[in-house]
Structure 1
Amino acid sequence: MPKKIEFHFKKPEDSPGYLLGQLTMLWQRKLKRVLDPLDLTHTQFILLCALAWLSRESDAVTQIDIANQGNADRMMVSKVLRTLEDKKFITRHEHPTDTRAKTIRLTATGEKILQKAIISVENADLEFFTKLGTDLVAFNANMANLIKENKTE
């Protein structure tokens, strides 16, 4: 008879990681439905948003800036940005001071697609998370704190 596998938690619903994974899958499925018609993946959307946020402050946004803003792996960011460039959503230019870096910019097409995506995703988010009611503010604060506390790991 095989040995029983032991868990710290008595049931899956007691595990915050399990619950977060389940919630994430449901939420990502909802976002996929709104992003597919715009020819965007969730990762592409996040990186375009990071670029848009950073572009408000600088005309010299780099791939590393985008990776840092999105808490993303640099190699993955590089691959996704190549795809976004192929789709004509972004352009890459020589960096004014760093010869190893490229500046990344949204194209007019990228701006239009991103604006549509933001509206769709924000509406989907509100629909999905509004079920928390007044607890949404605390939920967001707890998530932001967890991100901050675990960012260095």
Structure 2
Amino acid sequence: MPKEIEFHFKSPKDSPGYLLGQVTMLWQRKLKKCLDPLDLTQTQFVLLAALGWLSKTSSAVTQVDIANQSNADRMMVSKVLRTLEDKGFITRQEHEKDTRAKTIKLTPSGEIVLQKGLVEVENADLEFFAPLDTKISTFNKSMVQLIEKNSE
């Protein structure tokens, strides 16, 4: 007779990791529906959004800046940025001071697709998280706390 598997939690609904995974998959599925018509994956959108945020305060945004802003792996960021460059959404040029770095900028079509994506994703977020109603601020603070405590 097989040994009974022992779980720390009494049910999946008691496991924060399991629940986070379920919410993440549902949210990503919702975002995929709104980003597919824009020819963007969620990862591509996240990196474009990070570039958009960083470009508000810097004219020399680098790949490392984007990786740090999005908590993403640097090699993955490099590959995705190449894809975004191939799509005509960004340019990558030699950095003025650091020869090892590239300066990343949105192209006019990148600005348009990012703006359209922001509208779609923000509306999807509002709809998806609406059941939290007045608890959304507490939910956001909890997520920020988890990000800050678990970032490398």
Length-normalised TM-score, structure 2: 0.99
Aligned to 1:117: 117
- Deviation of 1:54 after TM superposition, in Å, equals 0.5
Aligned to 2:66: 66
Aligned to 2:86: 86
Aligned to 2:7: 7
CA distance in 1, matches of 2:136, 2:50: 23
- Over the aligned positions, Cα root-mean-square deviation in angstroms equals 0.5
CA distance in 2, matches of 1:59, 1:94: 13
Give the paired residue count: 152
- Per-residue CA deviations over 1:115-149 (Å, capped at 9, x if unaligned) read 00000000000000011010001001110111011
Name the SS for the 2:93 alignment partner.
strand
Name the SS for the 1:98 alignment partner.
coil
- Identify the range of structure 1 (1-10 vs 80-89) with the bigger mean alpha-carbon deviation: 1-10
- Per-residue CA deviations over 1:71-100 (Å, capped at 9, x if unaligned) read 000000000000000000000011000000
- Deviation of 1:5 after TM superposition, in Å, equals 1.4
- Deviation of 1:38 after TM superposition, in Å, equals 0.1
Which letter maps to 1:137? Answer: S
Which letter maps to 1:66? Answer: I
Can you give the 5+ residue segments of structure 1 that lack an aligned partner in the other structure?
none
Can you give the 5+ residue segments of structure 2 that lack an aligned partner in the other structure?
none
Aligned to 2:139: 139
Aligned to 1:47: 47
Matches within 5 A, 1:17-36: 17-36=17-36
CA distance in 1, matches of 2:6, 2:98: 53
Which letter maps to 1:101? Answer: A
Which letter maps to 1:127? Answer: E
- Deviation of 1:6 after TM superposition, in Å, equals 1.1
CA distance in 2, matches of 1:133, 1:92: 41
CA distance in 2, matches of 1:81, 1:3: 48
Name the SS for the 1:88 alignment partner.
coil
Q: Structure 1 runs of 4+ off > 6 angstroms?
A: none
Identity, % of aligned positions = 72
Which letter maps to 1:24? Answer: T
Which letter maps to 1:93? Answer: Q
Length-normalised TM-score, structure 1: 0.98
CA distance in 1, matches of 2:109, 2:92: 15
